[in-house]
Amino acid sequence: MCEPSKTSTGLKRRSKREKSSSSPSTSNPVRADESHKESLADNILASLSDVSLMSVLPILATILVLSCAILAYSGFRGRTTCVGIDLGTTFSVVAVRSNGGIGDVEVVDGRDGIVPSVVWYGGGGEVKVGKEAKEEIMKDSKNVVYNAKRYIGRDDVERDEWREFTLTPTPLDKKPKGFDLISSWSFLTSSGSTHTPEEVGSTIISHLLNITSLHLGHNQIKTAVISVPTKFNQKQRQATALAFKLAGIKVTRILEEPEAAALAYGLVKKPGVNFILVYDFGGGTLDVSVLHVSDGYVEVMASEGDEFLGGGDFDRVIAEMFWKELEAKGQIVSNSNECPHGDSTRCTLDDLYVISEGLKIEMSNIYDTPSPVAKSSCVTYDSKCSPKTVELSITKRKYDAITEDLFSRSAAPIHDVLEKLELQPEDIDEVVMVGGTSRMPKIRELVKEVLKKEKLNVEIDPDVTVAFGCAEVID
């Protein structure tokens, strides 16, 4: 079952009825045929009494051990039918509750349980999801769809606005007639297929479920507690739930993402906590929310954010810097370049985006080291298709300079939400960091500085925090 937990969200847990039992009656007469059956049973028991129980036990024990070994070898870890799922803009993840604890799905058969929200639609119905699909961005970007969560449940009249800010190379098109889905349009791939945001989400969810089934050793996952951004309207929430329905999953509860993040850390039950600020900085958006806690209940009081600021924007400014440098040297490679390249990373705009993401992550890892420099390379070609490797690098000083505006924008929603609620930084009791971009050392220092805090809640992997919170309400 997948019931809301009382201690997690303030919802009352459904009471469990005790099974009633009645004593067997001794006054009922025994029928003749029943008497005959009892005599037969007595004879069988009498014959079995000659067999020593101790001689049978080793055989039974051996069978039990072998059965357990087979189940363990096949990956069986106990039945579970309800999971917590965060269908994210950049990454999606499942959290599983078992044996009183919560955990994300580990690597299974080389597939990580934290899945990039990317889908590649090839010819002939071939589909790739996650890391495999992400690799296709450098080879076949016009058949790759990502950032689909940005568009789920949105009206057709909003399409032009979102087309302007999209990071998805796949063009948007009006939804074909006959599609009984909520979104008003779809992604049109170069292979000629069309896919609504709900269908893209459903494909990602199905992929997550396959990995989770391998992890658990069974495929009995039928229900889920899910999360949505606070700013999602009713139509967007319905469209998200529909994506799960298309994947064969019944949504038992929808949590708002900030609420799920607070639940993951158990802050709703922590003494002396009244106001929690959740700083959710993902790959596509930034959301800052303030929650109020009272008597075990939690409520999102207000949210502010930037729908056009995410980790992808840091990738973009780095890629644009390299693009200008390579263009000035005549080393740019067109996406349509037909020079044989194998698995080489070319100096194309698509490849530069992928390179830049890696350099951003590397810079975050070495940011506090002396004179950090993140390095990579790409391949360019002359008129005869002779390859030449071009070294790419970015220093900490250069990184800070080109991302200065992005860091400035990263602090604005904190000021906005505090001003809206007429709160001071001192009023905030706990701060929870969520989303992969919140890993950046400079982002964490910025949040500490604005909120005048020495400590942030960062112990849980920010990519899985929301999913953990969803799993927290599974009873």
pLDDT for 65-112, tens place per residue?
676 666 556 555 555 468 999 999 889 999 988 766 777 666 454 456
∠ CA 32-33-36, nearest 5°, is 90
Q: What is the mean pLDDT of the chain?
A: 82
Q: What are the start-end ranges of the H helices in 247-310? A: 257-264
- In this prediction, residues 240-268 reach a mean pLDDT of 95
Helix then strand then coil, % of the chain, to nearest 5 = 40, 20, 35
Residue 180: inside a domain:
no
Residue 53: its pLDDT value, please? 58
What is the total count of domains within the chain?
Answer: 2
> What are 136-188's pLDDT values in tens digits?
888 888 899 988 898 888 875 454 454 444 455 566 666 655 555 676 677 88
How far is 81 from 475, CA to CA, in rounded Å? 11
Per-residue confidence band for 347, with pLDDT thresholds at 50, 70 and 90: very high
Residue 453: inside a domain:
yes
Place of tokens 């005549």: 330
Clarify whether residues 376 and 320 are in a common domain. yes
Residue 166: inside a domain:
no
Residue 55: its pLDDT value, please? 67
Clarify whether residues 238 and 294 are in a common domain. no
Residue 270: its pLDDT value, please? 92
Report whether 85 contacts 226 (CB < 8 A): yes
Of the ranges 26-40, 189-203, 219-233, 389-403, the best mean pLDDT one: 389-403
> What are 284-338's pLDDT values in tens digits?
889 999 999 998 889 999 999 998 899 999 999 999 999 999 999 999 988 777 8
What string of DSSP letters covers 360-390? HHHHHHHTTSSS-EEEEEEEEE-TT--EEEE
Exposed / middle / buried, residue 98 (Cβ in 10 Å: 0-12, 13-18, 19+): middle
* Structural domain range at position 369: 270-457
CA neighbor of 310 nearest in space, from 166, 145, 159 = 166
Residue 372: its pLDDT value, please? 96
- In this prediction, residues 250-254 reach a mean pLDDT of 95
Q: For the ranges 235-239, 340-344, 359-363, which has the lowest average pLDDT?
A: 340-344
For the CA atoms of the chain, what is the radius of gyration? 28
pLDDT above 70 (res 24): no
Residue 315: inside a domain:
yes
How far is 240 from 204, CA to CA, in rounded Å? 12
The DSSP call for residue 304 is E
Backbone phi and psi for residue 62, each to the nearest 5 degrees, phi listed first: -65, -45
Tokens of 219: 């495929």
Clarify whether residues 231 and 326 are in a common domain. no
Clarify whether residues 244 and 368 are in a common domain. no
Clarify whether residues 346 and 212 are in a common domain. no
Beta-bridged to residue 115, according to DSSP, are 92
Per-residue confidence band for 441, with pLDDT thresholds at 50, 70 and 90: very high
Residue 427: inside a domain:
yes
The DSSP call for residue 176 is P
Clarify whether residues 220 and 307 are in a common domain. no
Calculate the CA dihedral of residues 141, 226, 458, 376 and round it to 10 degrees. Answer: -10
Number of helices and strands in the chain (H, E): 15, 18
User: What is the domain-level CATH number for residue 87?
Assistant: 3.30.420.40
pLDDT above 70 (res 239): yes
Clarify whether residues 236 and 112 are in a common domain. yes
Clarify whether residues 370 and 453 are in a common domain. yes
Report whether 468 contacts 264 (CB < 8 A): yes
Residue 303: inside a domain:
yes
- In this prediction, residues 400-429 reach a mean pLDDT of 98
Residue 43: inside a domain:
no
Question: 214 or 422, which is more confident?
Answer: 422
Clarify whether residues 224 and 360 are in a common domain. no
CA neighbor of 312 nearest in space, from 183, 165, 115 = 165
Residue 23: its pLDDT value, please? 37
Tokens of 262: 């607070």
Clarify whether residues 332 and 391 are in a common domain. yes
* Percent above pLDDT 90 for the chain: 55
> What are 348-390's pLDDT values in tens digits?
988 999 999 999 999 999 999 999 999 999 999 998 999 999 9
Residue 119: inside a domain:
yes
Per-residue confidence band for 32, with pLDDT thresholds at 50, 70 and 90: very low
CB neighbour list of residue 76: distance below 8 Å, 6 or more residues apart: 216, 217, 218
Clarify whether residues 136 and 210 are in a common domain. yes
Q: Of 221, 254, 287, which residue constitutes the final position of a domain?
A: 254
Clarify whether residues 248 and 366 are in a common domain. no
